[in-house]
Structure 1
Amino acid sequence: MDDLLTGAALALFLVSFGVGIVVGLTGMGGGALMTPALIFLGIPPTTAVANDLVAAAVNKSVGAAVHWRSGSPNLRLAGFLVLGSVPTAFAGAFIIDAIGATSDQEAFVANAIGVALLFTAATYALRMYLQLRHVTAGNTLSEDDPDVKPLRTIAVGAVGGLLVGITSVGSGSLIMVALLLLYPTLSAVRLVGTDLVQAVPLVFSAAVSHVLVSGIDWAVLIPLIVGGTPGTFLGARIAGWVSQSVIRRGIVIVLSLTGLKLLGVPAEWVGILGAGALLLGPLAWGFVRQTRGLPAFDNNSAAWRIDQDTKE
């Protein structure tokens, strides 16, 4: 019990609460933010992955429940994703265990997380651009569910599940972008709801395998759940109220810099790249917006529009 009343536990609580808000707001997998945060707090990578997955299994259930009540998820689409993701997610812990010595496992997981974060940042930026392109091309929010593509959807789930099982990263990043590519007419709210619903069995499967292989650390897990659950609930409740443009651009920068740090890039170079991204990133995004015929810095112009004619 004393382990739960320390400054470290408070830090874990505050970080998990903040990450939970982001998960509820954007549908992004908390592992992309939470697992690196745990590592930077001094927790070994394998322990960080295992405990984050167990906490995420609880926290994502809360966000999924909120979206389920609002009627936003596409359950058939989520079902095909689960069919592909659950088996590969379960294999993740056993793949890590087969690496060899503990030190080799820690190095492998840290490098895998670094690569996954860079990949996540790239796919997240792609998601932003694709949504911008669809909106400016005249697409409107459809009230009809798109036709499901079973084989492609199962394949997306399998790749995403494997990534989550090894790194705890990917359930709300890789899969979200893949869904946007496969189903561009799926509304933003339904996209988030579908991803959160399919992520629950995915993360549960990965969490169970990690518990079987390496166990959990209660002093880490409890603050993650206690902080992350209300954060996810709050984020999911206000997802429809908050403009996500600035949040998403910030996430891309944070993920990129964190991934570089985990891959061993010197801190001074990470700092230089971070400063450059903060200064030049908004200008680059403004230029992209202008190429699509939008004002450079009008955040509201990239929101999905509802065709009023289809509502009458």
Structure 2
Amino acid sequence: MEWGYLLAGLGVGIMVGMTGVGGGSLMTPILIFGFGIQPAIAVGTDLLFAAVTKAGGIWAYWRHGVVHWRVVWRLAAGSLPATLLTLWGLSATGVHEGHHNDLITVALGVALILTSSALLLKNWLAGIMKARQGHPLVNYLYRLRQDETIKAPATVITGGLLGIMVTLSSVGAGALGAVVLLFLYPRMRGVEIVATDIAHAVPLTAVAGLGHSAVGTVDWSLLSYLLMGSLPGIYIGSHLGVRISDKILRPLLAIILLMVGIKCLL
């Protein structure tokens, strides 16, 4: 079984290295459906797995000055309290005893479908917004995005929703967060959106993962095997990614996530 965990970590690490997404989206379903891990333990373990594998990205992006820390604080102002409240609710109602397996599986399915939709529709929606410049509805949306009195609370609320979703399913901090940032902060460059999204995802997944650990839903042995496989996998994937078109990889990943999400809901 240990070799299976190592290979799972390796495979997910390669996908993360190639596409930049797919860690929580792929690992949690693999643990639940591939290895029969209890959903709560799969989510808790995967949250810490995501925090460790993404942590190196913060340092690299911070050195290049592409993290928008004000946006990170806004997201965290919503996500971290929401995460703690969700953890308290799960703990108080017996998550460590497996009482919420169905809830977690449904939350995972919804999160996967939303993530796959974000991957498939992100570029299309951006194209529609550009093509329809001058349309009254598009002009109204652009004005909303430029109004700080609306943008700031909208970012905090978005963080809160991400905190709940990530704590329940370990999915959503990556692709969904990036799509929201793309809409709310249109002046941010692509690399800045990715960097800011990761800078928020690491503390979010770390707090959620440590909270799961406190209520007994993290398997530390499993985590160690996944990390041993994923770290070389990310290195391999980062080299393969420059040779395989992103236009092929992301739609393929999105379709896989959509199929797994539907399976979770059936």
Please give the alpha-carbon distance, in whole angstroms, between the structure 2 residues aligned to 1:236 and 1:87. Answer: 34
Which residue matches 2:9? 16
Q: 2:88 aligns with which of 75, 86, 94?
A: 94
Match of 2:191 among 182, 189, 192: 189
Deviation at 1:240?
Answer: 7.3
Compute the displacement of 1:234 (Å). Answer: 5.7
Deviations 1:262-294 (A, max 9, x none): 222xxxxxxxxxxxxxxxxxxxxxxxxxxxxxx
Deviation at 1:23, TM superposition (A): 3.3
Q: What TM-score, normalized by structure 2, do the two folds share?
A: 0.82
- Matched residue of 2:215: which SS? helix
- What corresponds to 1:210 in structure 2? 212
- Shifted more, 88-97 versus 161-170: the winner is 88-97
Contact 2:79 2:161 in 1 (8 A): yes
- Distance in structure 1 (CA, Å) of the matches to 2:242 and 2:72: 21
2:56 and 2:110 mapped to 1: Cα distance? 29
Partner of residue 55, structure 1: 49
Query: 1:114 is matched with which residue: 87, 90, 109?
Result: 109
Q: 1:150 to 1:242 in 2, by over 3 A?
A: farther
Residue-by-residue CA offset, 1:22-61 (whole Å, 9 max, x unaligned): 3345443621111111112211111100111111111110
Query: Of residues 61, 77, 80 in structure 2, which corresponds to 1:83?
Result: 77
Tell me, in whole angstroms, the C-alpha distance in 1 between the residues paired with 2:235 and 2:226.
14
Letter in 2 for 1:180: L
Q: 1:72-114 CA deviation, whole Å, 9 max, x = no partner? A: 3222222211222111123333333344573431122112211
- Give 1:137 shift: 7.6
Query: CA distance change for structure 1 residues 242 and 191 in 2, over 3 Å: closer, same or farther?
Result: farther
Rounded Cα–Cα distance in structure 1 between residues aligned with 2:130 and 2:213: 43
| Corresponding residue number in structure 2 for 1:161 | 163
Change beyond 3 A, Cα 1:19–1:65: farther
Deviation of 1:187 after TM superposition, in Å, equals 1.9
- Mapped to 1, the partners of 2:153 and 2:244 lie a distance apart of 34
Residue 137 and residue 244 in structure 1: after superposition, are their counterparts in 2 closer, same or farther (change >3 A)? farther
Change (3 A) 1:243 1:186: farther
User: Unpaired runs of 5+ in structure 1?
Assistant: 1-7, 139-145, 265-312
- Report if the CA contact (8 A) 1:24-1:63 is conserved: no
Whether 1:66 aligns to 2:60 is yes
Partner of 2:32: 39
Q: Provide the secondary structure at the position in 2 that maps to 1:216.
A: coil
Which residue identity lines up with residue 212 of structure 1 in the other structure?
Answer: A
Q: Deviations over 1:197-216 (max 9, x none)?
A: 11111111101210111242
Does the aligned pair in 1 maintain the 2:15–2:237 contact within 8 Å?
yes
Q: Which runs of 5+ in 2 are unaligned?
A: 134-145
Q: Which amino acid aligns with 1:35?
A: T
Q: Which has the higher contact order (CA 8 A, sep 6+)?
A: 2
RMSD, aligned CA: 2.7
Residue 124 (structure 2) aligns with: 129
Partner of 1:267: none
Is 1:172 aligned to 2:167, yes or no? no
Q: What's the CA shift for 1:243?
A: 3.8
Query: Given that residues 120 and 173 in structure 1 are in contact (C-alpha distance below 8 angstroms), is that contact kept between their aligned partners in structure 2?
Result: yes
Of stretches 238-247 and 110-119 in structure 1, the one that deviates more from structure 2 is 238-247
Can you list the C-alpha shifts for 1:232-285, whole angstroms capped at 9, x where unaligned?
A: 456568877764221111121011110111222xxxxxxxxxxxxxxxxxxxxx
